[in-house]
Amino acid sequence: MTTLGLIRHGVTDWNDQYRTQGHSDIPLNEKGRQQAELLSRRIGTEQWDYIYSSDLSRALETAEIIGKIKNIEVRTDPRLREMNCGLIEGTTEQERVNRWGYGWFRLDLGIESDDEIVKRGKECLTDISDRHPDENILIVSHGAFLGVTLKRLIPHIDMTESLMNTSITILHTAQPRWDCSVYNCTTHLNVKSIDIVKENMENEI
């Protein structure tokens, strides 16, 4: 049985501004790096064998922060990229309404379909699982990509809660279906831990 730990990247300025990111290569902000550091401390106490990441910098930097503490080289796969959001990338909901009206989501704005996301998502996760049988694999990707893919892989799990930044969801490739033992867990993100990491980072400067 292969175990996959699916991680959403740390927060970015566009996340904070509620701007759609898609394939736009937006980096982590300082808070996002702190989140990734906190997650790495949690991961450091667990058994993981490999790390794969989207090639977009917000996911890749999150993965590299984790990989550093585990001494694991990060492998990239472009199939793990966020959904392509076409013409709405870089916009907020209000900006979309101002430009295209309240029915903007019914227009052809070049946005990747759920079926297209699921196709590459399932293929990628299956390929990685088959490549590493009976091992524990971390995969760092993006909110919409992971959310849409998970709804097809584990429809029996309640996923009404959106994935949080640096949350981890744990899947198992047990037969006859994929199963989920942990969903959207962010126990590593608490105020006390964030303060400790911030203090340590300041002391290193």
- Please list the active-site residues: 9, 82
Structure tokens at 38: 């906190």
65 membership: H or E segment, kind and range: helix 57-70
Three-class SS state of 6: strand
Q: Count the Cβ atoms, other than its own, within 10 Å of residue 73.
A: 9
The residue among 37, 44, 66 whose CA lies nearest residue 140 is: 66
Q: State CA 170 to chain mean position distance.
A: 12
The residue among 55, 11, 79, 37 whose CA lies nearest residue 194 is: 37
